[in-house]
Amino acid sequence: MGEPVQLELVIPSVMAEGLRVQERICALMEGLSYTARDIFAMRLSLEEALTNAIRHGNKLSEEKVVSVDCEVDEVQIRVKISDQGEGFDPYGLPDPTAPEYIERPCGRGVMLMQTYLNLCEYSDRGRTVTMVRERNSPLPIVPE
């Protein structure tokens, strides 16, 4: 088994920079022959986490940055994303599938990440999310 590939970045709170990070990380996964399913799951999760950090955490502030630490190997990919915002309670969010929230155009990102990742864990009062996707993960499990 080869050495893990690591990527450490600090980006400004700009959505285009978040997209570039997303593309770089997915390219690392492609280089290690991850499946399209794994890459899709991580791309979706990265988009949600980076959007949350840039837009909701740092509120698009040019004075604040987002830190991204990534490690990918033959077994899994682990990404940690941190913002400089005030934080939030990721476990106190309303259920986006509840009837009163079902029509809202936002508020599903954390739920999607939890569905597609083997680990989606928040720390530092919600300012840091650690995401893990195992190679060939069966997630999401869709009931028949």
32-48 pLDDT, tens per residue? 999 999 999 999 999 99
What's residue 94's pLDDT?
A: 77
User: How confident is the prediction for the chain on average, in pLDDT?
Assistant: 93
77 CB-near residues (< 8 Å, 6+ apart): 25, 28, 29, 34, 38, 42, 70, 71, 132, 133
Which CATH superfamily includes the segment(s) 5-134?
Answer: Histidine kinase-like ATPase, C-terminal domain (3.30.565.10)
Question: Rg of the Cα trace of the chain?
Answer: 15
Residue type, 75: V
Residue 80 predicted with pLDDT over 80: yes
* Mean pLDDT computed over 92-112: 79
- pTM for this model (two decimals): 0.93
Residue ranges of the domains in the chain? 5-134
What's residue 105's pLDDT?
A: 63
